[in-house]
Amino acid sequence: MMVLLDPAIRVTLLLVLTWVIAAAVERSGTSPATRHWVWIGGFAALAALPACSWLLPPLLVPVLPAEAPLAGAVPISAYGGPSAPTIDATGLLWTIYFAIAGVLLGRILLGRILLERAWNRAAPLDEPWSKRL
């Protein structure tokens, strides 16, 4: 539980900080492009958070500790035999996170390739746009 709570708090704090900065930028009267770049920076920081998490100090959140299993004890299921192996939730969440990030990066790369292909196939206009209308 503590392992999942730390990143959730960090992500929430980072998004709140980004929102506060974007609101302050909007009140100052700057262009919407500036506010857009604030949000881009916030999401870039979110993307870098898992890679940089080992640099940050741990957040001390008061949560009751889990009971430690007895040394050498084998968990028993309700049917009397050893219980099935459990799935590591943290590893599963990291796998899902990186899978989604990979899909989104692949989508961006595919869009860039298709844009480059359209750009290379484009031909200059023979006549101005004003004559076509």
pLDDT of residue 105: 95
Q: Which residues contact 10 (CB under 8 A, 6 or more apart)?
A: 49, 53, 56, 59
Whether residue 85 is contained in a domain is answered as no
User: What are 43-75's pLDDT values in tens digits?
Assistant: 999 988 888 877 777 766 665 556 655 556 555
Last residue of a domain, one of 61, 76, 105: 61
Whether residue 96 is contained in a domain is answered as yes
Task: Look up the pTM and report it.
Answer: 0.43
User: What are 77-127's pLDDT values in tens digits?
Assistant: 556 555 556 677 788 888 898 999 999 999 999 999 999 999 999 888 777
Domain that holds residue 20: 1-61
pLDDT of residue 89: 78
Whether residue 86 is contained in a domain is answered as no
Last residue of a domain, one of 46, 61, 76: 61
User: What are 16-28's pLDDT values in tens digits?
Assistant: 999 999 999 999 9
pLDDT of residue 75: 58
Alpha-carbon gap, residue 2 to 5, rounded angstroms: 5
Q: Are 49 and 7 in contact (CB under 8 A)?
A: yes
Asked if residue 46 and residue 1 are part of one domain, the reply reads yes
Last residue of a domain, one of 38, 61, 84: 61
Number of H helices, E strands in the chain: 4, 0
Residue 38 has a CB neighbour count (10 Å cut-off) of 20
List C-alpha distances in Å: 129 to 42, 75, 119, 120, 121.
40, 76, 19, 21, 19
Asked if residue 103 and residue 52 are part of one domain, the reply reads no
Asked if residue 54 and residue 2 are part of one domain, the reply reads yes
The residue type of 7 is P
pLDDT of residue 103: 94
pLDDT of residue 18: 94
| Structure-block tokens of residue 93 | 């969440």
pLDDT of residue 9: 80
Whether residue 53 is contained in a domain is answered as yes
Alpha-carbon gap, residue 5 to 64, rounded angstroms: 12
Alpha-carbon gap, residue 102 to 95, rounded angstroms: 10
Whether residue 15 is contained in a domain is answered as yes
Whether residue 38 is contained in a domain is answered as yes
Whether residue 101 is contained in a domain is answered as yes
| Structure-block tokens of residue 42 | 């916030």
pLDDT exceeds cutoff 90 at 42: yes
Q: Are 7 and 66 in contact (CB under 8 A)?
A: no
Whether residue 69 is contained in a domain is answered as no
pLDDT band for 6, please (50, 70, 90 cuts): confident
Number of domains in the chain: 2
pLDDT of residue 21: 95
